[in-house]
Chain A
Amino acid sequence: ETGVTQTPRHLVMGMTNKKSLKCEQHLGHNAMYWYKQSAKKPLELMFVYSLEERVENNSVPSRFSPECPNSSHLFLHLHTLQPEDSALYLCASSQDLGAGGEKLFFGSGTQLSVL
C-alpha cells in the first residue's frame, strides 16, 4: 500500500447523477492531485492542491468540482457527466510542490463508468 486510499474503487453513474470520489492520504504530505487516466492516452493532470489551496486547474470542465477540506483529504464532486468522462481517476500526493523533484504517491484509483 502506498498510503493513499481512494473510494469507491468502482462507480457507475448516469449522466444526471451526482456523486463524489474520495481520497485520503496517511503520509503527512502537503500536496494532493487528481489525475484522469483514459485508455491509450497520457495521464491528464486535473487539479493540484497545496496546503488545501488549489494551485492548478487544467481547463477541466465545471462538471468536475474538487474540494480539499484539509491536507489529508481530497474530494472530486461529479455532476451531469458525459460518457466520455468514463476513465480511471487517480489521486496522488507528494511531500510538497517544491521545485520538481518530488515523487508522487498514487492511490489505486476509482474506475468510473458513465452511462
Chain B
Amino acid sequence: AQSVAQPEDQVNVAEGNPLTVKCTYSVSGNPYLFWYVQYPNRGLQFLLKYITGDNLVKGSYGFEAEFNKSQTSFHLKKPSALVSDSALYFCAVRRPGAGSYQLTFGKGTKLSVIP
C-alpha cells in the first residue's frame, strides 16, 4: 500500500518570505512523487514531479521540491512567496511500473500568503 501525509492543514507565510509545504510518503520501491496546486473553483494543476536523478526538482511558478529518501520526504519550497501563490497544494505518490496507475494524494495543505 502507498500513502502520503501532509502534516499541516494550513500554512501562513508573509509575502516575500520563503515558504515550505511538507510532505512525507510511504511506498514500496522507488517512488514517483508529484505536487499539484488547486486554485479556488478550479481543478488541480501539475507543478512538478520527481522520477529519478537530481534530488532537487524545479517546477512551475518558481517552485521546487527536494526528495529525501532517508526521511521519505518531498517538501515543496519557494524562496519568495507571492500573494498569488495562495491556494491548496497536494502531494501525491505513485509506485512505478506498468499497471501502477494508482496515484495516491494527500489531504492537501492550504497556503495563505499574507500581503
Residues of A within 8 A of B (CB): 2, 4, 6, 31, 40-43, 45, 48, 55-56, 90, 92, 97-101, 103-109
Contacts and interface: CB of A to CB of B under 8 A. Distances in A.
Interface of B: 4, 9, 32, 34, 36, 41-46, 49, 51, 90, 94-108
B107 A48 contact: no
Given A103-B34, A104-B46, 16 more contacts: A2-B45, A42-B4, A43-B90, A43-B105, A56-B101, A56-B102, A90-B43, A92-B43, A97-B101, A99-B100, A100-B94, A100-B97, A101-B96, A108-B41, A108-B42, A109-B43
Tell me if B's interface is mostly helix, strand, loop or mixed.
Answer: loop
A36 B112 CA distance: 24
B60 to A, nearest CB: 11
Given A48-B101, A100-B97, A4 B43 contact: yes
Tell me if A's interface is mostly helix, strand, loop or mixed.
Answer: loop
